[in-house]
Structure 1
Amino acid sequence: MKNVHRFIIFGLLGVFALFFLLPFYVMLVTSLKDMSEIRGGSLLALPAGLNFEAWGKAWSNACTGTDCNGLQPFFWNSMAMIVPAVAISTTLGALNGYVLTKWRFKGSELLFSFMLFGVFMPLQVVLLPMSQVLGWVGLSDSIWGLITVHVLMGLASTTLFFRNYYIGLPDELIKAAMLDGAGFFRIFVRIVLPLSTPILVVTLIWQFTNIWNDFLFGVVFSGADSKPITVGLNNLANTSSSVKEYNVDMAAAMIAALPTLLVYVVAGKYFVRGLTAGAVKG
């Protein structure tokens, strides 16, 4: 009976997985077909051969509005934005979590409660005030403006992750290090960070995914030369032409999705472990 239940559960999970992966399959096979094959064949049919012409055009020649340089400049804009944004927001979140759990001060719990508002606050609320602030400091329509926005908006989540994880670290480790003469940053670097690998992986993947896939901030706060790949993909898909090239659109969508797919393939199991490691703390 136990084997029957297990068979039913795994069978249902397999069906749900296939249903979930069906759009990805359609995108992939469509991107490998030419337009004549798309018009004359089935949506689910495999391509006659591996044809990467649509991928090349989506990367370097497809029109995104009046610009016909493909997704390449948008891709590198996103890379230039995401590396410092993820690194800074994760570092600040780790320091915040460290302070709020191991160096508590009067009002620290109240401060953390206020920071939690940032996790649940609708993104649309900050558009106008953030635009004004970026204009005042001279960062509007720039890569560094986007980095600033994503760091500030991600700080609540990263702080929450690290705070909940660090609560489970024994206070005795910190006290023993203090007795040995170690200071704030030395304890953090030598003791706390080496124990933080699971939650570091979770936070890095979380921030990478959120920032890479963001469209709202990208379209509002970017300039002509700083638009991220999500904006470029939207412009490519909405650019009108005499012939709609579905294979190019699908190839562009795959290019935009590849970095996050690679991150989850490489580090997905660590993401799950890190989530469960901090799930019961707080």
Structure 2
Amino acid sequence: MRLFQLTIAALFLFPLTACGDAPAESSEAAEGAAPEEYERGPHNGRMLRDGDFALEVTIFEDGVPPEYRVYAYSGDKPVAPRDVDLTIQLKRLDGEVNTFKFAAEQDYLRGNGVVIEPHSFDVTVAAREGGRRHRWQYASYEGRVTLAKQAAEAAGITTERVGPASLSETIEIIGYVELEPTATSNVGAKFPGRVVSAGPNVGDSVRAGQVLARVESTESMQIYAITAPVSGVIVERRTNVGDVAGSDPIYVIADTNRTRAVFPIFPRDMERVRAGQQIQLGLL
């Protein structure tokens, strides 16, 4: 068995409001303000106020995937969550928009989805209660850094426009070469008897029709020849002169032109391997 090392190159493509009948808009984050410069509520959430109505927006992740839980107040007194219709929309840095609808649960309004990481986005909050509509917009940036042009240049940071690009990734796999299931022929005696001669040894090449052994039949007492049914290489010899040939094969011939390479792939790599990908073979 010959061992080979297979390298697969996988190609990926990266494209690299004020209260009233009509909604008004209020900005919660002042330009240039630090991320933590906002009012916090009883649940340590961000307070959004519009007149006497207020919302406390929290992202709850204690034992559960991150989710929105929002508390409503009127005159700083809790408002029943069933009396508030709420929607929150997140716009991420790459332009992706996530929209959350809310349903009443206990004393808060619970969002209908997971707030996936990173928690860095522009937020739009729209609420309706008591016939009034409210709207807020603010930035909630987690892990973002803003650098002045001069500071970026001094640090050697450059930018380029995002576009498609082909990247390569390699996976090293150890494999082996084996005969195809139909590439071997078992050669046995037609009639049982004593082996009077046996020629080829393991590793010898033979051609179809070549005499491999001669057997003296126990029934007719005549000697007959056992010939190779196919051309190939002797991979097994199971007899010697004087042995009794029966129903078991005495030679096994393999067609070494009919082989296949087997490369077991780990489950973790299965999704990265596709038909048509380029490979590089090397002998170990």
Q: TM-score, normalised by structure 1?
A: 0.19
Point out which structure has higher relative CO (alpha carbons under 8 A, 6+ apart).
Answer: 1
Q: TM-score, normalised by structure 2?
A: 0.19
Structure (1/2) with the larger strand percentage: 2
